[in-house]
Structure 1
Amino acid sequence: MPSGPPLSRGGRLVVPAIHVLQGVLLMKHVDRVTLLRGISRFLQLAAGVALTSFAYAVFQVPFNIAPGGVGGLGVVVSHYTGISVGLLYLLLNIPLLVLGFFNLGRWPFVLRTLLVVAVFSYLTDFFLAIIPRLVMQFPLTDDVLLSTIYGGIVGGIGAGLLYRSGATDGGTSILGRVIQLRTGMPLSQVFLWTDGLIVVTMGLVFGWEISLYALLALFLYGMASDYVLEGPRSIRTVSIITDRRDEMTRAIISELGRGVSMWPIQGGYTGETHWVVFCTVHRPQVNDIKRIVAGVDKDAFVTIAEGHQALGKGFSPLR
């Protein structure tokens, strides 16, 4: 028996109140999620710019070290002109921001980056002016190597937080993206040339030992920012070639709680058919997987590889 509209009055459909309530609750949930996401981005951006400017002012500027980019160029120009490195960072970024606006064409990106550049410039000069005993006269350490290491790591953590918030610290990040779009050159090669040229310039001005320290800072900077962006590479992918696929699968699922995939293969030498049982595990579970395989099939062949990242059920959520 066909059913008509749930409620009607005067020839007009009246939506049940429960549907309206569900819609309101859904909108509130979406607004709450959006608000929390915006707050998270803002906090990451604020922490990122604070850490990068602190590392630059406290660990790098006193020793004329910077891991390439506009920061390194600012140290060189400041050496000859006497202009503060914070102001130079802002001035040198202005043409790059204009270049990014016309070539990348993303207002939110440009505005976020402009905000980062402005706050970074202010905080750099703030740290250099307010705590001169720690920064210029009495650095946290007189050891150039320690300053290089901590400057690279702290600055890299800050840069990683900036990237996660959807912004960058400007400079060669914008230039590199524009060159990539224009030429098709991989971004890693673009950064190698741009930052490498600035590091060489620092070597010509301050000596090659400073240039070597800057290269070390650049390396640590990249490692730290990658770690913040992607997290520790703590997963392993395991491929097990076995003739006892069912027992192997049951043991892995029951003891480790990990899903597996299987497919048949043929041996190149014997021509015999075997099975590959594939699974992804956390690093602490590697010894467990070895024990399970040995207990099920001592004739199995196992390869264990370092995975870059695992997203999905049982690992990091997809976002």
Structure 2
Amino acid sequence: MEYAYLLAGAIIQALAMRLFLVPAQLVSGGISGIGQIVNSFTGWPIGLMVFLGNIPLFLLGWRFLGGPRFALRTALSITVFSFFTDAFMWIIPGEGVTHDLVLNCLYGGVMLGVGLGLVYRGQGTSGGSDILGRILNYRFGISISQSYLMTDTLVVLAGGFAFNWEKALYGLVVIYVSGLAAEMISEGSSVFRTALIISSKPDEVSSKILTDMERGVTILKGTGAYTGADRPVLYVVISRAEVNQVKSLVQEVDPSAFMVISQAHEALGEGFKPLLKR
């Protein structure tokens, strides 16, 4: 299943390049962005340049980021993406789907992010700035998000010189949108919520949630800092659609209760998605 994610993710990224980003000259960072810039001046195939440009980074990644397991998955992702980026050139019209920069930016960013997210779910990397960002994090302690920002911003700025600054600004939007889409696909769509409930009637509240909503409740030990009194804290995981229901149940039992509702990326275990190793 992981290799299916890798293959699908790499092909979707190649489609995003050929349908939206390359026709609109939108540079999204990384080795593929450098390939776009060089292609605009030389006509050299983008996929081939992506493949060749990833070789030194691939060797560094082999050394610092996990050896053979890293190598196999990353090599597969890079090879498939590079091959289909050039292969789609013979199938997809050079002008792409639309000439509208906004549409190319949004749809290209979302499709690119979906492909990246699938590659991450397959426990792989997409090469390029992904490898470089992780190496900078490993060797110099620079956070991965800062590493991506530095490397991709430099490429987008280069795109501004090569094409124009309006397209460079749209390129920054592509990076942001693709990042959101990649996070949603790889980590979940944030459809779950967690509720922390502090009530003077913890038994009645938990019983109501257990019977009416059929959701599990965990009772955590808590102490009020001001009063010093014991204050049990109820912890509940619910779906987004159940937020109003749990508010109503708590208000019915104890109108003076205190609640904090937070967002969760994923819920694994009984009542939710099975806890399986991916």
Sort the TM-score into its range (normalised by shorter chain).
over 0.9
Is residue 223–residue 229 contact of structure 2 (8 Å, CA) maintained in 1?
yes
The code of the aligned residue for 1:121 comes to S
Q: Deviations over 1:71-102 (max 9, x none)?
A: 11111111222212111111111111122223
Q: Aligned ranges for residues 43-54 of structure 1 at < 5 Å?
A: 43-54=4-15
Bigger RCO (CA 8 Å, 6+ sep): 2
**2:219 counterpart of 1:259:** no
2:72 & 2:196 partners in 1: Cα distance?
Answer: 47
The code of the aligned residue for 2:139 comes to R
Structure number with bigger Rg = 1
The code of the aligned residue for 2:32 comes to G
The code of the aligned residue for 2:34 comes to L
RMSD: 1.8
* Match among 205, 208, 220 for residue 165 of structure 2: 208
Q: Which residue of 2 aligns with 1:33?
A: none
Q: Aligned ranges for residues 1-319 of structure 1 at < 5 Å?
A: 40-132=1-93, 136=94, 138-269=95-226, 272-318=229-275, 319=277
Is residue 245–residue 275 contact of structure 1 (8 Å, CA) maintained in 2?
yes
Is residue 58–residue 128 contact of structure 1 (8 Å, CA) maintained in 2?
no
2:90 & 2:134 partners in 1: Cα distance?
Answer: 34
TM-score, normalising length from structure 2? 0.92
Say how many residue pairs are matched.
276
Q: Deviations over 1:273-307 (max 9, x none)?
A: 54322212111111111111121112222222222
Is residue 18–residue 96 contact of structure 2 (8 Å, CA) maintained in 1?
no
Against the structure 1 CA distance between its residues 217 and 259, is the aligned structure 2 distance closer, same or farther, given a 3 Å change threshold? same
1:303 & 1:267 partners in 2: Cα distance?
Answer: 16
TM-score, normalising length from structure 1? 0.81
Q: Deviations over 1:101-128 (max 9, x none)?
A: 2333511321222222222222111111
> Residue 310 of structure 1: SS of its match in structure 2?
coil
What are the ranges of 5 or more consecutive residues in structure 1 without an aligned counterpart?
1-39
The code of the aligned residue for 1:50 comes to I
Is residue 58–residue 127 contact of structure 1 (8 Å, CA) maintained in 2?
no
1:283 & 1:235 partners in 2: Cα distance?
Answer: 5
Shift of 1:262: 2.3
Q: Which residue of 2 aligns with 1:11?
A: none
Shift of 1:267: 4.1
